[in-house]
Structure 1
């Protein structure tokens, strides 16, 4: 849920940045020394460019979000694989240790038997 809030904040920040640029450019055009018709055409042209830029920004943010989501999913899958491999390795090590203990117990029994024969 926190990820969704961060995504929304990122998108809102990008949109506020674009909106601020539009407002600033609009104010600059209104105070420029040129005719009203030319200023209106410039404002319309700039608004179209700003809209395309905003659409591109939203698309970039969405692509980034999707890529990040894919990366997080891949890391989760890898972590699960590593955990399973670790479990398998631990089970194998446990079996080897039990076998070694069993063999050393047999060796100890043999040595005890030899010692018993010598002592008597």
Structure 2
């Protein structure tokens, strides 16, 4: 299991455990519902932030990949040109 799946499953487990703990806590239903709503809003905000961070990381990785690919293609083109020139000089 890769790290991303592990942390996703772990986070879901923690959230489920917290929800069960809040539901069975000895307090009024209104207070419990208010806490659950607040925690859900916090989790939603966290997921939005994490999604934006992942998107930024993916954009940077894609740009770096394109840059590397362009460098490799340019190097291969130059090497092929040198090879053709060498063969032409030998003939």
Q: How does 1:37-116 map to 2 (within 5 A)?
A: 37-96=30-89, 98=90
Q: How much has 1:60 moved relative to structure 2?
A: 2.0
TM-score w.r.t. structure 1 length? 0.57
- Mark the structure with the bigger radius of gyration: 1
For residues 26 and 17 of structure 1, the distance between their equivalents in structure 2, rounded to whole angstroms, comes to 14
Structure 2: state its 5+ residue gaps: none
Structure 1: state its 5+ residue gaps: 1-9, 100-120
- Partner of 1:32, secondary structure, is coil
8 Å Cα contact 1:15-1:54 kept in structure 2: no
TM-score w.r.t. structure 2 length? 0.72
**Paired residue total:** 87
Q: How much has 1:51 moved relative to structure 2?
A: 0.4
Q: Which has the higher contact order (CA 8 A, sep 6+)?
A: 1
How big is the alpha-carbon RMSD for the aligned residues of Structure 1 and Structure 2?
2.5
For residues 69 and 62 of structure 1, the distance between their equivalents in structure 2, rounded to whole angstroms, comes to 10
For residues 11 and 51 of structure 2, the distance between their equivalents in structure 1, rounded to whole angstroms, comes to 10
